[in-house]
Amino acid sequence: MNSMLLRMQELWVQKQGNHPNEYEDAFHPDKLLRTENNCVALAIADGATEGAFSKQWANILCHCFVNNPDIPDEGEPVSWDAARSRYERFISMYKEKRAAKGPPLKWYEIPSLSQGSYAAFLGITVRENEQGGYVVHSIAYGDTCLFHTRNGEMLASFPVEHASDFGFRPWLVSSRERTDEQHSGIPSVRRREFYVQPGEEIYLATDAASQWFLSCYESDNDPTWHLAPFFAVKNRNTRFANWVNELRRQRTIRNDDTTFIKITFE
């Protein structure tokens, strides 16, 4: 089948008070492309602020997943091991650069480099089905979310279903270990399959954006209606940033990096 028609648009703004270069969310690609097996892959991640290079780790996770969009029935995606190897090469190059060109690493920087970086992650693959619709496979670790909507109606929320479920210590993908040692217990990689029809939409969002999105629905206030005007203009991120900063002042949304990815199925 060669009729796959998808449109991707993004909205993002860094935490208020930070420079855009300090934005630690990540997504890839910025334009949907089909692979040789007629699959579209997309990933979004939220780097944890306490990590030394969480921005880079989030970006590496997204790029490696899209390059090899494997969603296994159990366990971690193969791409995460590739991401860890790529991250270690990045850290090695960083250390070599600091040693050669300075300034030398400070004593307090060394532990943070050894501890690695962390990120919440959500990846999807999209394929057409024989019925003229689409099958979306998703894998999630943490509180980055997917929302399936139709004409403003919420059809599904994954992996978090209620605004009150957001905490301050979600599961995070570690650049060092296959298990996240920040938490007790066994980490759980979540998976879900969605069947999407033409005219429906998928939104991907990092935690602050996701919590706001769910809060709107829980108060019978359609969040897609609020977002639609920004997706309709060219300079959307500037307008979106002004709007989000007003929501932050009103304490309607948490002051954190805020990202929405909208995928329209046509």
pLDDT at 108: 80
pLDDT of 36: 58
Q: Which residue has the tokens 């962390």?
A: 118
Helix (H, G, I), strand (E, B) or coil at 49: coil
Q: How far apart are CA 48 and CA 25, in angstroms?
A: 9
Report the Cα–Cα distance between both ends of the chain, in Å, rounded: 15
In a domain, 140, yes or no: yes
What's the CA gap between 4 and 7, in Å, rounded?
Answer: 10
- Of these ranges, 19-23, 36-40, 69-73, the one predicted with the greatest mean pLDDT is 19-23
At 79-121, the pLDDT tens digits run: 999 999 999 999 989 888 888 888 888 878 777 788 889 999 9
User: What ranges in 102-161 are assigned the alpha helix state H?
Assistant: 109-115
Q: What is the CATH number of the domain that holds 111?
A: 3.60.40.10
**Does the residue 86 lie in any domain?**
yes
Instruction: With CA atoms as reference, report the closest residue to 189 among 202, 180, 181.
Output: 180
pLDDT at 169: 74
Contact 144, 120 (CB under 8 A): yes
Domain containing 174: what range? 6-265
Residue 232 lies in a domain: yes
Domain count, the chain: 1
Could you tell me what percent of the chain has a pLDDT over 90? 70
pLDDT, average across residues 66-73: 91
Task: Give me the DSSP letters along 211-265.
Answer: HHHHHHHHTT--HHHHHHHHHTSTTHHHHHHHHHHHHHHTTSS-SS-EEEEEEEE
**Residue at 1 is within a domain:** no
Q: Does any domain span residue 136?
A: yes
Whole-number CA gyration radius for the chain: 19
Mean pLDDT of 11-30: 96
What pLDDT, on the 0 to 100 scale, is given for residue 178?
A: 64
d(CA 134, CA 6): 10
Nearest to 129 by CA among 67, 193, 42, 65: 193
Which residues make Cβ contacts (< 8 Å) with residue 163, sequence separation at least 6? 211, 214, 215, 218
Tell me what the mean pLDDT of segment 63-75 comes to: 91
In the predicted structure, residue 134 carries a pLDDT above the cut 50: yes
Residue 223 lies in a domain: yes
- pLDDT digit string, tens, across residues 159-200: 999 999 997 678 899 998 765 444 434 457 899 999 999 999
Nearest to 205 by CA among 23, 44, 42, 61: 44
Determine the residue type at 199.
Answer: G
Collapse the DSSP code of 162 into the 3-class scheme (helix H, G, I; strand E, B; otherwise coil) and give the result: coil
Instruction: Return the pLDDT at 226.
Output: 98
Q: Is the pTM of this model over 0.85?
A: yes
3-state secondary structure of 221: coil
**Smallest Cα–Cα separation from 66: which of 47, 76, 80, 85?**
80
Encoded tokens for 243 = 């709007």
Q: Looking at the domain assignment, is residue 214 inside a domain?
A: yes
Judge whether 63 lies within some domain: yes
